[in-house]
């Protein structure tokens, strides 16, 4: 089923679930995006959509709100009580998984269109059941800017290109990927797919993608191998354990007690302009974890080396300042 048809059918279900009375075909045509302007084309498409919903098991009810007399106009609705699932009893583990899913799905391209359809119905004077509609609206939320574009690329089976900064690297590299899936692991998001540059399956952490993710080929041109297990690939190969690295930092005298406790060595800082500072060597593995920790000490810590850690701490501090200005 195409994306356009899926969105139209979802919007149709939302409208018919949200109304308290029967909607005529013309009211549906005005409220649901995606129907053609031509009367004949609309009738054919609407008939196909009704059959599609019935085949999917959606209880589409046909009737009229007018009482007695002839000439009643036929309308449609979906009774919520017939559409709702029966009581479901979940184990604690199953409930935890559903709770996690509810927190994850907080953004979707179809949500805006569905909400727009409800707005049109209310503007036309049709009463809508808002809680019912809200209950079926899917959303996806993540702090990684690359997520929406990658999720759409996986859905559309479209190759993408992006700039990526690998672990321990100060320069970004252009990567060309046929995405197979986007998964979450230990609170972080990863995209798994076929790396065209290396000719093998690869895993990329979304937080290391810089700039925009752009299309790199037509839709439906990515073929996901039948035997591929995206989650297994991400768990087994995503984010390899980095080797320990030294970080050279300056610590303000009498401050930054946390880093001091596990510093490999601490000595008075040499050079002009650093009176009242100590120089220390710390050991770390993950820039993304270590930079936020150092940034918590604000102006009591200055990173001298390596460059990628220094830049990450600067970006953390800039983000805090930008947030305080809002």
Span 208-234, pLDDT tens digits:
898 899 999 999 999 999 888 888 888
Query: CB of 228 within 8 A of CB of 279?
Result: no
Report which secondary-structure segment, H or E, holds 45: helix 39-55
Least confident of 19-28, 71-80, 290-299: 71-80
Span 83-122, pLDDT tens digits:
776 666 667 666 666 655 555 544 444 455 555 555 555 5
What is the helix, strand, coil percentage profile of the chain, to 5?
40, 25, 35
* Domain spans of the chain, in order of start: 3-84+107-135, 147-237, 245-324
Fold for 245-324, please state it.
Alpha-Beta Plaits (3.30.70)
- How far is it, in rounded angstroms, from Cα 322 to Cα 31? 41
State the pairing for strand pair 23-24/265-268.
unpaired
Which residue is associated with the tokens 């196909």?
48
Least confident of 100-104, 131-135, 195-199, 201-205: 131-135
Q: Please state, as a whole number, how many other Cβ atoms lie within 10 Å of the Cβ of residue 306.
A: 17
The hierarchical CATH code for the domain 3-84+107-135 is: 1.10.10
In degrees, to the nearest 5, what angle opens at C-alpha 57 toward C-alphas 51 and 59?
80
Q: Please state, as a whole number, how many other Cβ atoms lie within 10 Å of the Cβ of residue 172.
A: 15
Confidence (pLDDT) at 106: 47
Confidence (pLDDT) at 219: 92
More confident residue, 139 or 91: 91
Query: What is the SS3 assignment for 251?
Result: strand
CATH class for the region spanning 147-237: mainly beta
More confident residue, 227 or 251: 251
Nearest to 138 by CA among 172, 121, 162, 114: 114
Q: What is the DSSP string of 50-95?
A: HHHHHHTT---EEE-S--SSS-PPPEEE--HHHHSPPP----HHHH
Instruction: 206-210: list long-range contacts, CB under 8 Å, 24+ apart.
Output: 206/142, 206/144, 206/146, 206/147, 206/150, 206/182, 207/144, 207/288, 208/164, 208/165, 208/166, 208/167, 208/288, 209/144, 209/145, 209/146, 209/162, 209/163, 209/164, 210/162, 210/163, 210/164, 210/165, 210/172
């Amino acid at each position: 089923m195409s994306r356009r048809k899926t969105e139209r059918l979802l919007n149709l279900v939302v409208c018919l679930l949200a109304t308290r009375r029967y909607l005529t075909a013309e009211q549906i045509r005005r409220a649901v995006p995606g129907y053609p302007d031509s009367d004949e084309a609309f009738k054919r498409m609407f008939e196909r959509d009704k059959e599609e919903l019935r085949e999917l098991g959606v209880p589409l009810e046909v009737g009229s709100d007018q009482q007695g007399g002839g000439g009643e106009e036929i309308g449609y609705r979906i009774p919520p009580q017939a559409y709702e699932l029966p009581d479901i009893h979940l184990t604690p583990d199953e409930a935890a998984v559903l709770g996690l899913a509810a927190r994850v799905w907080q953004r979707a391209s179809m949500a805006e269109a569905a909400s727009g359809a409800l707005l049109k119905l209310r503007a036309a004077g049709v009463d809508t059941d808002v809680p019912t509609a809200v209950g079926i609206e899917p959303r996806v939320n993540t702090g990684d800017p690359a997520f929406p574009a990658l999720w759409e690329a996986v859905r559309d089976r479209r190759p993408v290109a992006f700039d990526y900064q690998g672990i321990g690297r100060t320069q970004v590299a252009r990567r060309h990927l046929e995405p197979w899936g986007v998964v979450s692991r230990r609170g972080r998001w990863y995209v798994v797919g076929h790396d065209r540059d290396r000719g093998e399956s690869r895993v990329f952490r979304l937080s290391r993608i810089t700039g925009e993710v752009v299309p790199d080929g037509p839709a439906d041109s990515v073929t996901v191998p039948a035997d591929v297990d995206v989650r297994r690939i991400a768990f087994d190969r995503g984010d390899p354990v980095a080797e320990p690295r030294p970080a050279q930092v300056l610590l303000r005298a009498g401050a930054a007690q946390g880093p001091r406790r596990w510093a490999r060595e601490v000595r008075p800082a040499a050079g002009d302009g650093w009176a009242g500072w100590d120089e220390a060597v710390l050991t770390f593995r993950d820039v993304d974890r270590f930079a936020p920790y150092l940034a918590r000490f604000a102006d009591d810590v200055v990173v001298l080396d390596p460059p990628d850690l220094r830049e990450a701490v600067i970006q953390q501090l800039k983000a805090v300042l930008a947030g305080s200005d809002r």
